[in-house]
């Protein structure tokens, strides 16, 4: 996906000073999830001599880095009961691919070319109190960060990555909805017959259409096209098309936006470090912002929140695909929007009591 790069980046008119930057970025190219592989795959995945790394850091000595390689035992009788998936692959699923790591590193290089080289804004790598990285509990976000950081600060040896508990992580929302799955049951039954997926599958194949891998080798082109359309429809409907899609997005990412607001205000008062947030929750962020042209955000897509100051007044610019985001809100294109107006918009759609709202309290949802 397009992202900020020095070649296309537009510096605001004279008189604006950059104060703060926060980014939310989707991971780059990955392998399938283990739960989304067929019982027996015919594609080779080789991760020999590649991570992921799993080792503890000691305070008083240097521990030895350790990375995982998948092991397959012919003597384990249970292995054949759950399916070999990708056969003798040494990979862990999911994981960022080598191409994904290359893209992530280049993404870091491009980010630095704008905010370090062009604007002279980013701190030095060793000024770790001036910036922060945050990831989700999904390992692919940390893997993306590892390569992104190598492109951004190639001389740095290690970083702290902040992460919230997976039980309430504001960067990793969950969803649950099934009506469209019921209406497309006949299509799913045809797909299951050629894919070998059990009707009562509990591994995730029946929870949405966004990860179905279909080709005209195993299903008709008509059904394959329908599956692709359903995947795109899910995203468009969930985040922009449904009657209450904005509220839905606000409930999913409302806490994260409240955190963002706090960061913007703290930065406006010169008390906050720069934070870069990396995760795969770009869709509800765009849903809250009511993107005028909703799309399924691709690998590496990002939303950048820039806080600028002109005199004593703070302004916010939001970039998606490297350009100011066009929205269907009264704010229009989010290009130098006064911070207080952005606050008013967030306050109008994000419930004040998120806990009560997520429990279905009508008053908290503004429905009473």
Look up the CATH number of the domain holding residue 321: 3.40.50.1240
pLDDT band at 209 (very low <50, low <70, confident <90, very high): very low
Looking at the structure, do residues 249 and 155 belong to the same domain, yes or no?
Answer: yes
Q: Classify 278 as helix, strand or coil.
A: strand
Per-residue pLDDT at 105 = 97
pLDDT in tens, 289-333: 999 988 888 889 999 999 999 999 999 999 999 999 999 999 999
Residue 188 clears pLDDT 80, i.e. is over it: no
Per-residue pLDDT at 350 = 95
Determine, yes or no, domain membership for 65: yes
User: Cβ contacts of residue 217 below 8 Å, gap of 6+?
Assistant: none
Per-residue pLDDT at 217 = 46
Nearest to 267 by CA among 306, 302, 322, 304: 306
Task: Dump strand ranges (E) for the chain.
Answer: 17-25, 131-134, 161-162, 274-278, 302-310, 313-320, 323-324, 337-338
Determine, yes or no, domain membership for 142: yes
Looking at the structure, do residues 59 and 163 belong to the same domain, yes or no?
Answer: no
Looking at the structure, do residues 281 and 356 belong to the same domain, yes or no?
Answer: yes
Per-residue pLDDT at 288 = 95
Of 95, 122, 148, which residue constitutes the final position of a domain?
95
Per-residue pLDDT at 215 = 42
Of 44, 70, 95, which residue constitutes the final position of a domain?
95
**Comparison of pLDDT for 16 and 229, the residue scoring more:** 16
**Comparison of pLDDT for 246 and 43, the residue scoring more:** 246
- Token readout for 275 is 């934070």
- Token readout for 174 is 């969950």
Per-residue pLDDT at 179 = 52
- Domain containing 333: what range? 17-29+100-173+244-363
Of 72, 95, 118, which residue constitutes the final position of a domain?
95
Report the number of distinct structural domains present in the chain. Answer: 2
Looking at the structure, do residues 109 and 85 belong to the same domain, yes or no?
Answer: no
Looking at the structure, do residues 273 and 336 belong to the same domain, yes or no?
Answer: yes
Determine, yes or no, domain membership for 232: no
Looking at the structure, do residues 259 and 169 belong to the same domain, yes or no?
Answer: yes
Determine, yes or no, domain membership for 235: no
In this prediction, residues 257-269 reach a mean pLDDT of 91
In this prediction, residues 97-125 reach a mean pLDDT of 94
Per-residue pLDDT at 142 = 92
CA-to-CA dists, residue 214 to 83, 94, 223, 225, 326, angstroms:
19, 19, 8, 9, 33
Looking at the structure, do residues 115 and 76 belong to the same domain, yes or no?
Answer: no
Residue 125 clears pLDDT 50, i.e. is over it: yes
**Comparison of pLDDT for 338 and 197, the residue scoring more:** 338
Looking at the structure, do residues 51 and 150 belong to the same domain, yes or no?
Answer: no
Looking at the structure, do residues 164 and 285 belong to the same domain, yes or no?
Answer: yes
User: Cβ contacts of residue 221 below 8 Å, gap of 6+?
Assistant: none
Residue 206 clears pLDDT 70, i.e. is over it: no
Per-residue pLDDT at 43 = 77
Determine, yes or no, domain membership for 162: yes
pTM attached to this predicted model: 0.83
pLDDT band at 233 (very low <50, low <70, confident <90, very high): confident
Determine, yes or no, domain membership for 60: yes
Mean pLDDT for all residues in the chain = 84
Q: How far is the C-alpha of 126 from the C-alpha of 129, rounded, in Å?
A: 8
pLDDT in tens, 56-99: 989 999 999 898 888 878 898 887 777 667 777 888 888 888 89
Determine, yes or no, domain membership for 328: yes
Contact 306, 21 (CB under 8 A): yes
pLDDT over 90 for what percent of the chain?
Answer: 44
Looking at the structure, do residues 134 and 68 belong to the same domain, yes or no?
Answer: no
Per-residue pLDDT at 113 = 97
Q: Give whichever of 129-143, 265-279, 337-351 has the largest mean pLDDT.
A: 337-351
Residue 216 clears pLDDT 50, i.e. is over it: no
């Amino acid at each position: 996906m397009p992202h900020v790069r020095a070649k296309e980046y537009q510096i605001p008119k004279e008189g604006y000073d950059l104060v703060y930057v926060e980014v939310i970025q989707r991971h780059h190219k990955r392998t399938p999830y283990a739960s989304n592989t067929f019982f027996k795959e015919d594609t080779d995945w080789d991760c020999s001599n590649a991570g992921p790394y799993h080792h503890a850091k000691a305070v008083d000595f240097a521990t030895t880095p350790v990375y995982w390689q998948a092991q397959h035992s012919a003597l384990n009788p249970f292995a054949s009961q759950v399916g070999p998936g990708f056969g003798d692959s040494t990979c862990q699923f999911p994981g960022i691919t080598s191409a994904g790591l290359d893209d992530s590193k280049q993404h870091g290089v491009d980010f630095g070319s704008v905010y370090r080289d062009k604007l002279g804004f980013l701190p030095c790598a060793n000024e770790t109190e001036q910036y922060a990285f945050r990831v989700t509990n999904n390992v692919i976000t940390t893997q993306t960060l590892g390569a992104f950081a190598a492109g951004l600060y190639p001389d740095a040896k290690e970083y702290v990555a902040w992460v919230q508990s997976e039980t309430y992580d504001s960067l990793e929302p969950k969803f649950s909805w099934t009506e469209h799955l019921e209406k497309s049951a006949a299509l799913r039954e045809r797909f299951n017959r050629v894919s070998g997926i059990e009707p009562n599958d509990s591994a995730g194949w029946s929870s949405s259409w966004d990860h179905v891998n279909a080709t005209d080798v195993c299903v008709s082109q008509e059904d394959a096209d329908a599956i692709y359309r359903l995947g795109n429809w899910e995203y468009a409907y969930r985040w922009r098309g449904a009657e209450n899609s904005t509220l839905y997005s606000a409930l999913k990412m409302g806490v994260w936006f409240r955190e963002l607001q706090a960061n913007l205000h703290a930065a406006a008062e010169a008390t906050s470090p720069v934070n870069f947030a990396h995760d795969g929750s770009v869709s509800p962020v765009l849903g809250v912002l009511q993107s005028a042209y909703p799309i399924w955000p691709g690998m590496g897509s990002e939303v950048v929140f820039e806080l600028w100051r002109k005199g004593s007044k703070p302004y916010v610019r939001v970039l998606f695909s490297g350009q100011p985001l066009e929205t269907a809100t009264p704010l229009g294109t989010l290009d130098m929007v006064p911070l207080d107006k952005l606050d008013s918009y967030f306050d109008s759609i994000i419930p004040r009591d998120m806990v009560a709202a997520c429990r279905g309290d009508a008053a908290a949802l503004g429905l009473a």
